[in-house]
Structure 1
Amino acid sequence: MPPRKYRKSNSPYARPAPAIATSSAPPQATGTVTTQSHAPTIDVVTSSPAPVPPTDATRITQNLVQDTADSPRVWLVGSSIIRHAFLHSLTSPMGINLQLNAQIWWQGYGGLTLKTLQRRINHIANLEDAPSVIVIHCGGNDIGKTQTQKLLVNVQEVHKFLSLKFPSTKLVWSELLPRIKWRYSNNIRAMETTRARINRQGMRCFLNIGGAIYHPQFKNKDEYLFKVDGVHLSKEGNEIFCQNLKSGLQQFLKKC
């Protein structure tokens, strides 16, 4: 019976025609494709793909996946300054754990105030056990909106609340940053005076149960350290801010 003929199809889904054997000898298992002696030998060259340079996406993945299961835990709780610093850390060489032997949990909330801070802390505490260190960066959004004397009392209340809720945790006050523009007042001098008083109150309270982290590089309010809104930090500003957090936490973690 003559062999069945197959008609060539241009369809990409067509089943390929079966190969017709021309020799009973088994194919040779070599690194080349061998044909009859009158045909040239074709070498099969295999090589590894060229390395792909890391992108922001791969850096973020690498920074999120860090083996710190047995390390002390740190909560960084505060306003959008903390949230923006976290976003910066995703693509920074420091990573989200700031190159520390610690598990850092960033909790930054836009518009956070001293009065709403306790509610946020209670919510976080329902999700996680008490950490080794808590850093508080909050109060800037209150300035110009709430009377200074009331803010000083609020700082004391936050300190008392944290001390009772986390008796074995080191509590750290992160110095409130200066601003080029303030939301609730154009009187920059008055706003900066209030900021300084809140910082002194925070440091006075927290130094007894933990410590404070300072940010002296922002004292002169160099414009390149801020975004155009005069409040949030630029890439350079966030890098300095994260470096300050890292340096401060290094000291506190030594005592854990």
Structure 2
Amino acid sequence: MLCCTVKTHQCCRDCSLVLRQEVSVWIIGSFLIKNAFVHARSKTGGVNLGLHRIGVKIWWQGYGGMGLKDLESTIKRLMKYEKAPKYVVLHIAGNDLEKTKLGFFRNEIKATLEKVQSYLPKSSIEDGVHLTDLGNDIFLNNLQGALEMFICSGTYTYPDTFGTSMCIS
């Protein structure tokens, strides 16, 4: 595998050489995350989205109806069984949209994310419907691409500006 960042022309022969230890990722959310997990189990890369080759271990935590109020307890429960992850991917609060006034809801999201960040101060938190199989494929592919880019290049936005970072197998 060859990983390159076009902007800086820095390349490495293997992204796993960049990683000195296993990288843990938690993916937390509602039914979309549960569905994506179930779908990923049947895909070639499995639940680690093929990123096990560069030392990535993904923990999925998704269930139907999960709302913003459930996030804090979910994080605390995961912390009982695992060390804090390097990355947290959230797909949360969609189930709360019709139940809460927008201004209040925005403040609740901000307060909850600040709490989560205080529990996981060294973790990068990425926050961002039901999908068809093709939709799940696209979601998983984008998730894999984003995580690989974050881990290999150190950038925290995805996609980067028009494909200036890429990993080529």
1:122: which partner in 2? Answer: 76
Q: Which amino acid aligns with 2:57?
A: Q
Task: Count residues with an aligned counterpart.
Answer: 131
Runs of 4+ in structure 1 deviating by more than 4 angstroms, as ranges, are none
Aligned equivalents of 1:162, 1:112: Cα separation in 2: 16
Aligned equivalents of 1:77, 1:89: Cα separation in 2: 15
Runs of 5+ unmatched residues, structure 2? 1-20, 156-169
Q: Which amino acid aligns with 1:85?
A: A
Aligned equivalents of 2:151, 2:109: Cα separation in 1: 24
- Residue by residue over 1:119-138, the C-alpha shift from the partner in whole angstroms, topping out at 9 and shown as x without a partner, is 11111111111111111110
1:243 equivalent in alignment to 2:141: yes
- Superposition deviation, residue 171 in structure 1: 1.1
Q: Residues 115 and 154 of structure 1 are in contact (CA less than 8 Å); yes or no, is this contact kept in structure 2?
A: no
Query: Greater Rg, structure 1 or structure 2?
Result: 1
1:193: which partner in 2? Answer: none
Q: TM-score, normalised by structure 1?
A: 0.49
More strand by share: 2
- Residue by residue over 1:158-204, the C-alpha shift from the partner in whole angstroms, topping out at 9 and shown as x without a partner, is 2211221111111111x2xxxxxxxxxxxxxxxxxxxxxxxxxxxxx
- Residue by residue over 1:46-104, the C-alpha shift from the partner in whole angstroms, topping out at 9 and shown as x without a partner, is xxxxxxxxxxxxxxxxxxxxxxxx52110001111000000000111221111112000
More helix by share: 2
Identity of aligned residues (%): 35
Please list, as runs of the form range in 1=range in 2, the aligned pairs for 1:1-256 lying within 5 A after superposition.
70-100=21-51, 101=54, 102-173=56-127, 175=128, 231-254=129-152, 255=154
Structure ranking higher on relative contact order (CA contacts 8 Å, 6+ apart) = 2
Aligned equivalents of 2:42, 2:122: Cα separation in 1: 33
